Amino acid sequence: MTRIVYVNGRYVPHHEAAVHIEDRGYQFADGVYEVIAVRRGRLVDENGHLDRLNHSLSELRIGWPLSRRALKFILREVIRRNRLNGDGMVYLQVTRGVAPRSHAFPDHHESALVVTARRLRFLQGDGVDVITIPDIRWKRCDIKSISLLPNVLGKQQAKDSGASEAWMVDSGGQVTEGTLSNAWIVTERGELITRDVSRAILNGITRQAVLRLATGAEIAFSERPFTVNEAKAAREAFITGTTVLVTPVVRIDGEPVGNGRTGKFTAKLLAFYARHMDNQGKET
């Protein structure tokens, strides 16, 4: 079946989709994006993603391309037209639009919108390896910008090393986050640790859900930075994200975390999050 995408007001076949050569997303990475999980044909944590989209757009002074209600309709229509009845993801991207190439903002306010959808098998399994790398990104990581070159380089470095993810480390030796995920550890005392929200990290929607689930289950947690050494000495470690859900980390820089297997806290949180996804899937 031919995939259908939405591009600036039109639903078109995937192989015909195109944007203008002077779209500022293409020339300046002047735009933002969101990736929303689809569970059994329904969007997961949709409002959280749209709230974060609003934050990113506001911080970059990019206008909404249409109303929030209209965008919700388009997201569902793209899912419907692609017959995405199972698990997958929706990708939406908003740029400042088309204008002659100039660094300053154009006078117009005609934002551009692209929405795609595809089937996806969420990463889980027996755990992943991560490596640690210097964090070379800009200082506004709270904005979900389409400018992802440092993340791309880090992800490729992980792949070249035989790992699945790279944890970025700031100048103080503390882990910020992964190239496409938030980073977590479980201390020997059984406390969850993940970095506090600031401009240094993206406040992941899955991250937020896991914190709520931990609160409901009365699992102690702390939002603070942790060092690479703390991570390597932890009882457990895991990553969270829209496409990775809650995935155990079994090795960091080649060294086993705990016993090198999925820990009980990680397994418990994954089970909680799977139920959360199923419950979200019942919403309209």
State the CATH number of the domain containing residue 12: 3.30.470.10
- pLDDT for position 282: 56
- Domain end marker among 62, 87, 119: 119
**What CATH code is carried by the domain that includes residue 194?**
3.20.10.10
Q: 8 with 132, same domain?
A: no
pLDDT at 126: 80
- Averaged pLDDT for residues 224-247: 97
Do residues 82 and 222 both lie within one domain? no
DSSP 115-169: EEEEE-PPP-TT-EEEEEEE----S-TTS-BS--HHHHHHHHHHHHTT-SEEEEE
- Domain with 142 in it: 128-280
Same domain flag for 44 and 182: no
Task: Give the mean model confidence (pLDDT) for residues 18-24.
Answer: 97
Q: What is the pLDDT of residue 281?
A: 52
pLDDT band at 121 (very low <50, low <70, confident <90, very high): confident
Q: Which among 72, 102, 119 is the end of a domain?
A: 119
Instruction: Report which DSSP code applies to 96.
Output: -
Last residue of a domain, one of 91, 119, 147: 119
pLDDT for residue 61 is more than 90: yes
Residues 91 and 173 in one domain: no
Residues with catalytic function: 144
Q: In terms of domains, do 146 and 187 share one?
A: yes
pLDDT (tens digit, 9 = 90+) per residue, 33-60?
999 999 999 999 999 999 999 999 999 9
The total number of structural domains in the chain stands at: 2
How confident is the model at residue 125, as a pLDDT?
Answer: 65
Rounded to whole angstroms, what are the CA distances from 103 to 27, 111, 146? Answer: 10, 16, 17
